[in-house]
Amino acid sequence: MIELEGIEKTYVSSSVKTRVLTRVSFRIAAGEFVAIMGASGTGKSTLMNVLGCLDKPTAGHYRLDGTDMVNLDDDALSHLRNHKIGFVFQQFHLLDRATALRNVMLPLIYADQYPEDAHQRAEGALAAVGLADRMSYKPSQLSGGQQQRVAIARALITDPTILLADEPTGNLDSKSGAEVLAIFQRLHREDRTIIVVTHDRAVAEHANRIIVLKDGMIAEDQPVAQPRDAETELAAVVGKEAQA
Amino acid sequence: MRVLRIAQEGARALAGHKLRTFFMMAGTIVGIAALTVIMAVGKGTEQKVMKRVNAFGTHVIMITAGGGKGFSPPQEGVTTLRPDDAEAIRAQVPGIELLNVFAMKRGPPVKAGANQTQAVVTATDQNWHEAWDWPVTDGEPITDEDQATMARVCVLGTTTARELFGDQNPIGEYVQVGNVRFRVKGVLQTRGVSPHGGDFDSRVMIPLSTGLRRLFNQDHITNIRLKVGDSSRLTQLGEEVRQLLRRRHTITPPKEDDFSVFTAAEVAKEARGISRTLTYLLSALAGLSLLVGGIVLMNILLISVGERKKEIGLRRALGATQGDIFRQFLVESLSVTIIGMVTGSLLGWAVSVVLARVTQSPVVISWEPFALALAFALVVGVFFGVQPARRAAKLRPVEALR
Amino acid sequence: MKLSRNVILSVEILAAHKLRTLLSIIGIVVGVGAVILMVSAGNGAQKQIVDRIRGMGTNLLVVNAGRTMIVAGRQRQMDIVRTLTAADARAIAGECSSVALAAAAVNKKMAVRWEDQDIFTNVTGMNADGLTIRNITVASGRTFDAEESRAAMRVAIVCPTAAANLFGTTDPVGQQIRIGKVPFEVIAVAAPRGMDVNGQDQDDLIVVPLETAMRRILNLTYVHTIYAQARTSRLLDTAEGEIAALLRQRHRLRNKPDDFTVQNQATVLEAERETTGSMTLLIGSVAGISLLVGGVGILAVMLMSVRERTPEIGLRRAVGALRRDIRNQFLMESAMLSGAGGLAGVAGGVGLSLAISTLDYWPTVISWPAVALAFAFSVAVGLFFGLYPAVRAARLEPIQALRAE
């Protein structure tokens, strides 16, 4: 239900044109777990922005669940993001002065209809990521891994079509990173569509399919034969800690 | 409602940064407080002025013999104001309800038996009591019969009555003014302080005819008091009277009038002095500080937009539209000015109350400053909030999140 | 760090955020400008009043018969007293050592006629000394000589406004007029003197010799007023005392209250100065509120600036800057900010003051000490409101500062 057709993105700054994405085309079906890989400067951030409806391509078509981005104005894009996209950022981007619960509820503020059970939904989402007992904690009182889990709960609250994660483990230690990837894999088993953008092959290999970008173009698009299992890795790390 | 949710987000943002919010409010608080105090004091002074005008008479035109600036007692030696001037006014100027002609003299000693005092001797016609709304509380007033018969009767003011007769009832007794004896037939109601600051109750009233012919031995009068039906035409009628008298006394500018015409409006202007101008000036200066406060508010908000780039980018990523962001920041700005206005008004009110007690000068708390303050708060909040709000809304999410 | 380096650094940083810098100083500019403008206007008004008071006569003392009160802006005599005489004036001139000149005067507002023109004007009887004391000088014609005064001749000096009202464009000198019922010859026109402190036109006046007025017009044996001139302005209070004592003795008052009032120009001047002074203070203070609000603005902006530049502060400390270097740097910035605003405000305030004075809207007198004070105050505001942020910046620990996002 994600269709990219001939996506191009060119930046113009003081009469210098830089083409960042060239003829990017692929399809992602519902329920897939895809990793988009590439070194910095390969255009993977730009591709993520397009996928996340944060930026419009200069040419080509991006169809999400049948809707073509090309015709949408700013307000419509905002609306789409609210409904269909759940973001998880490398820097977490939580509101410092709000509790975990309020952070999770934030997307609902911008929804068309504020649900009556907003509170309960948020509590449920936090429980699903294992933070039921940390609802009223502020980000400064949570570890990096916990903060990212709050971000995941936030991303899920609107029941989006895709979960879009940008280097989700970039700021985390190996244990927290494994926890986060474990959650993603669980969500995948529950039929969520997940797209992770990363430069780290080890992270990308937790997905079921890897798309590699090089110089703004797709270099590879292959399924992963045997994805790494985050749960196992987590157990290993915990074991090491117990031994130390 | 979406707008309400957005407003809540704005309120939360303010509450989360109390110090910054306080700084944003500072100008509004101080400016509104100053404005409130200034207006309260101004109103108090205005009230004082109105009291003076009411003492003068809101429907009254007073003609005094002798020119010169300022509302003052008649000048000695001016003999050009005459009873037929009054007749001419009655005949030719429309809208005059009542005419009272009198001649005042200060100085001739008033004696009663062994007691003597000084008072203002006023020779007047029978319209006096109605023209001045000044009845007798004891005995009888000057009547047209007294006037017609040149009766040698008088009505005393309470101060004079007391000075001559002590606690004794003066009705029926005799007083001597100059070399004429008058029988006391009434005592006037107590009035207090005159518009010139003297004792209004130190007076002896005698019939006009008796006064002019028997006592003063003159043809001229010192004053004409006119009561007008429609107070909105006071200034206009005053001018008509002035023109009429100039014609009758053959006065052409630049020659000065040998009379002065005063209406309540002019009395008010004189009593006010510079206080009204002063109030306006001070209010403008207070308004200036409000403006400066608005600029400070805008500056702080602009800087905070810069600081909150990531937050704005996040909200946009989560689905906030440009309009949502704009409205949130505008709400923040408006909330600051409105809360500042309330705080400033309360502060100003408190200071006014203390000021009234300490200086014992009149201070009036009314609703006008609050309404004005609210209007200011709204205007300043919107005007100085728009620019930062637009900047915030126009931030591109991709750049903001970087 | 050296002062000059601090200054250059501060300027660079302030220039980097032009809009923010501009907005930050607007409050100071407006506040300082408003204060200077209001104070100049107040001083201008005060000068105008002082000039008027002085214009009535140098080192002037006025002795009035009986009690007088200011009613509706004019001196009004509250009772009729006949005890003040021309002899009293001569005695004052002779026996009071601090008095240079003294002259008796009578006045009355009267009808004056020339050919078929009637006016109603002030008529004063005064001799040559009185003319000197009251600054009445002859513009055309000649003044009374001693012979005319003594013989009570019927000569008159007409002041400009009365002259214009009565004669129009005809030259008054040599004309015959009637004052009351008495015929006079006009021998001079006086130079204009303008308005007195009560707003009365001093030029609406006709002056005749004292004797003439007393004997031929008014039929009086007593006088209304004695004008006196003290030798120096510092002797004014002494003169007031001497005159009062002398008159009390001559009028044999013993325990009774004064039957005269003495007004001393210095006292009047002082009273006026106080009134306008406190008014200027009030207005200036309210104008200064803007300055204060501007100061708060600077405080807020500096705090935010410190927060933004935390990494930079950490770096500076890491390479060897002392706490006080950091503090001084930020203090310098806020002082420069408000100082720049103060300069602009001074320029604006002075410029506006000059403009409205030149355009005749309102008299202004620029008090340079006040300007310097306002500028100093603006710098002080910057230092005061910038102290807290500067101290906070200095207190940052380098490691935490460097780590901050």
Our CA-based measurement puts residue C284 at a distance from the nearest CA of chain B, in whole angstroms, of 9
Determine which of B31-40, B148-157, B339-348, B360-369 has the lowest per-residue pLDDT on average: B360-369
CA angle B180, B105, B129 (to 5 degrees): 90
Of the candidates A89, A95, A110, the beta carbon closest to that of B324 is on A110
Give the separation between CA C250 and CA B158, rounded to whole angstroms. Answer: 38
Determine the average pLDDT of the residues in C215-226: 87
In a domain, C73, yes or no: no
Number of structural domains in chain C:
2
Residues of B in contact with A79 (CB under 8 A): 319, 321
Position A146 scores a pLDDT of: 93
Task: Give the mutation candidate from C289, C305, C361, C362 for the B interface (greatest B CB count, under 10 A).
Answer: C289
Contact across the interface for B397 and A110, Cβ inside 8 Å: no
Q: How confident is the model at residue B237 (pLDDT cuts 50, 70, 90)?
A: confident
Position C2 scores a pLDDT of: 65
Residue B126 has pLDDT above 70, yes or no: yes
**B132 vs A14, B225, B236, B304, CA distance in Å?**
86, 9, 21, 67
Position B274 scores a pLDDT of: 81
Our CA-based measurement puts residue B328 at a distance from the nearest CA of chain A, in whole angstroms, of 12
Q: Name the domain boundary from C203, C233, C258.
A: C258
Query: If you average pLDDT over every residue of chain C, what do you get?
Result: 85
Residues C48 and C86 occupy one common structural domain? no
Contact across the interface for B250 and C204, Cβ inside 8 Å: no
Position A139 scores a pLDDT of: 93
Contact across the interface for B319 and A78, Cβ inside 8 Å: yes
Q: For chain B, which chains pass the contact test of at least 3 CB pairs under 8 Å?
A: A, C
Residue of B nearest to C113 (CA): B255
Task: Give the mutation candidate from B24, B278, B292, B297 for the C interface (greatest C CB count, under 10 A).
Answer: B292
Residues C191 and C297 occupy one common structural domain? no
Q: Could you read off the pLDDT of A195-239 as tens digits, one per residue?
A: 999 999 999 999 999 999 888 888 888 898 888 888 888 888 888
In a domain, C203, yes or no: yes
Determine the average pLDDT of the residues in B22-43: 90
Strands (E) across C191-302 are located at: 205-208, 225-230, 260-264
Position B341 scores a pLDDT of: 92
Determine the average pLDDT of the residues in B161-173: 86
Residue C197 has pLDDT above 80, yes or no: no
Q: For chain A, which chains pass the contact test of at least 3 CB pairs under 8 Å?
A: B
Q: How confident is the model at residue C73 (pLDDT cuts 50, 70, 90)?
A: very low
Share of chain B above pLDDT 90, in %: 23
Residue of A nearest to B7 (CA): A109
Residue B189 has pLDDT above 70, yes or no: yes
Residue C128 has pLDDT above 90, yes or no: no
CB B191 within 8 A of CB B205: no
Residue of B nearest to A75 (CA): B321
Our CA-based measurement puts residue A101 at a distance from the nearest CA of chain B, in whole angstroms, of 15
pTM: 0.79
Position B256 scores a pLDDT of: 67
Residue B49 has pLDDT above 60, yes or no: yes
Determine which of B331-335, C9-13, C112-116 has the lowest per-residue pLDDT on average: C9-13
> How many CB atoms sit inside 10 A of residue C141's CB?
17
Residue B255 has pLDDT above 80, yes or no: no
Tell me, letter by letter, the H, E, C secondary structure of C170-216.
CCCCCCEEEECCEEEEEEEEECCCCECCCCCECCCEEEECHHHHHHH
**In chain B, positions 274-313, which contact chain A (CB-CB < 8 Å)?**
310-311, 313
b/e per residue B62-81 (b: at least 16 CB within 10 A): bbbbbbbeebbbbbeebebb
Our CA-based measurement puts residue B288 at a distance from the nearest CA of chain A, in whole angstroms, of 35
Our CA-based measurement puts residue B311 at a distance from the nearest CA of chain A, in whole angstroms, of 7
Residue of B nearest to A79 (CA): B319
Using DSSP, state whether A32 is helix, strand or coil: coil
Is A78 at the interface with chain B, CB within 8 A?
A: yes
CB B385 within 8 A of CB B335: no
In a domain, C74, yes or no: no
Residue of B nearest to A73 (CA): B321
Position C80 scores a pLDDT of: 64
Our CA-based measurement puts residue C233 at a distance from the nearest CA of chain B, in whole angstroms, of 31
Contact across the interface for B197 and C204, Cβ inside 8 Å: no
Backbone angles phi, psi at A197, to 5 degrees: -105, 125
Position A62 scores a pLDDT of: 92
Position C405 scores a pLDDT of: 53
Q: Name the domain boundary from C258, C281, C300.
A: C258
Residues of B in contact with C72 (CB under 8 A): 69-72, 196, 270
CB B16 within 8 A of CB B304: no
End-to-end CA distance of chain B: 31
Q: Could you read off the pLDDT of C93-123 as tens digits, one per residue?
A: 888 888 999 999 998 888 888 888 888 888 9
Our CA-based measurement puts residue A97 at a distance from the nearest CA of chain B, in whole angstroms, of 6
Our CA-based measurement puts residue A110 at a distance from the nearest CA of chain B, in whole angstroms, of 6
Residue C72 has pLDDT above 50, yes or no: no
Of the candidates C72, C121, C307, the beta carbon closest to that of B70 is on C72
- Please report the DSSP string for B14-37 in residue order: HHHTHHHHHHHHHHHHHHHHHHHH
CA angle C50, C52, C58 (to 5 degrees): 85
Task: Give the mutation candidate from C37, C296, C306 for the B interface (greatest B CB count, under 10 A).
Answer: C296
Residue B117: in which H helix or E strand, if any?
strand B115-124
In a domain, C126, yes or no: yes
Residue C78 has pLDDT above 60, yes or no: no
Is B323 at the interface with chain A, CB within 8 A?
A: yes
In a domain, C252, yes or no: yes
Q: How confident is the model at residue B338 (pLDDT cuts 50, 70, 90)?
A: very high
Backbone angles phi, psi at C237, to 5 degrees: -65, -40
Is B9 at the interface with chain A, CB within 8 A?
A: yes
Determine the average pLDDT of the residues in C22-30: 88
Contact across the interface for B296 and C27, Cβ inside 8 Å: yes
Q: Could you read off the pLDDT of B51-103 as tens digits, one per residue?
A: 878 878 888 888 888 766 666 777 766 778 888 888 888 888 888 888 888 88
Domain boundaries, chain A: 2-243
Share of chain A above pLDDT 90, in %: 48
Residue of A nearest to B401 (CA): A93
Give the separation between CA B260 and CA B69, rounded to whole angstroms. Answer: 8
Of the candidates B310, B311, B318, the beta carbon closest to that of A82 is on B318
CB A40 within 8 A of CB A215: no
Residue of B nearest to A80 (CA): B319
Residues of B in contact with A114 (CB under 8 A): 2, 5
Of the candidates A54, A74, A154, the beta carbon closest to that of B321 is on A74
Position A189 scores a pLDDT of: 92
Residues C235 and C360 occupy one common structural domain? no
Q: Name the domain boundary from C258, C290, C315.
A: C258
Task: Give the mutation candidate from A78, A108, A161, A166 for the B interface (greatest B CB count, under 10 A).
Answer: A78
Its ipTM equals 0.89
Domain that holds residue C352: 3-52+271-403
Contact across the interface for B293 and C74, Cβ inside 8 Å: no
Our CA-based measurement puts residue C179 at a distance from the nearest CA of chain B, in whole angstroms, of 13
Backbone angles phi, psi at B168, to 5 degrees: -65, 150
Residues C135 and C230 occupy one common structural domain? yes
Tokens 């055309």 identify what position? Answer: C140
Backbone angles phi, psi at B160, to 5 degrees: -65, -45
Residues C147 and C252 occupy one common structural domain? yes
Q: How confident is the model at residue B324 (pLDDT cuts 50, 70, 90)?
A: very high
Our CA-based measurement puts residue B167 at a distance from the nearest CA of chain C, in whole angstroms, of 27
Residues of B in contact with A93 (CB under 8 A): 310, 313-314, 317, 401
Task: Give C405 or C383, the one with higher predicted confidence.
Answer: C383
Using DSSP, state whether B259 is helix, strand or coil: strand
Residues pairing with B181 in the sheet = B176
Is B3 at the interface with chain A, CB within 8 A?
A: no
Residues C192 and C336 occupy one common structural domain? no
C-alpha closest to that of C210 among C223, C200, C197: C223
Determine the average pLDDT of the residues in C12-39: 87
In a domain, C65, yes or no: no
Residues C162 and C116 occupy one common structural domain? yes
Residues C129 and C228 occupy one common structural domain? yes
Using DSSP, state whether A18 is helix, strand or coil: strand
**In chain A, positions 133-162, which contact chain B (CB-CB < 8 Å)?**
154, 158
Position B203 scores a pLDDT of: 87
Give the separation between CA B379 and CA B22, rounded to whole angstroms. Answer: 19
Determine the average pLDDT of the residues in B329-345: 93
Position A151 scores a pLDDT of: 94
In a domain, C265, yes or no: no
**Does domain A2-243 bear CATH number 3.40.50.300?**
yes
Residues C30 and C132 occupy one common structural domain? no
Is B394 at the interface with chain A, CB within 8 A?
A: no
